[in-house]
Amino acid sequence: MLATARLQLQHLPAHLTRDSWPGQLTILEEALSHLDALDAQWRQTRAQLPEGAGPGSDAYVDALDAHHAECWSYLDDWTCHGRVILDIQAAARRAPSRPKPPQLPALTSRRSGHGARGR
């Protein structure tokens, strides 16, 4: 979605865009990158928990709470700026479409005219 929004923004006429959109997309891209890194870190942390420290155990809950605490600010970025993706999509729909290539007339079969045998 982010890549699509970035591409759409590059092709939108200036009168349909807002100056804040490129910066908002950058904030979302950075937040997503941090969330991906935190997810990888969580998987590693979870794998290193003592045996029997599954969901519901104190060790698991404490580790998960710490993980969630690290994620909140990046999720908040998405809450605050995520709407920009929808705004860009809406602007792209309002933008004049590119002209369609001319349609060529359908070709007719050479056999339909002379030389065709009746049945």
| Model confidence pLDDT, tens digit, residues 74-84 | 999 999 999 99
> What pTM value is reported for the model?
0.76
pLDDT in tens, 39-59: 999 999 999 999 999 999 999
CB 88 within 8 A of CB 12: yes
Q: How much is the average pLDDT of 60-72?
A: 97
Q: How much is the average pLDDT of 28-49?
A: 97
Q: Show the CA angle centred on residue 86, arms to residues 70 and 80, nearest 5°.
A: 30
**Pick the residue with more confidence: 110 or 15?**
15
> In the prediction, which pLDDT does 80 show?
98
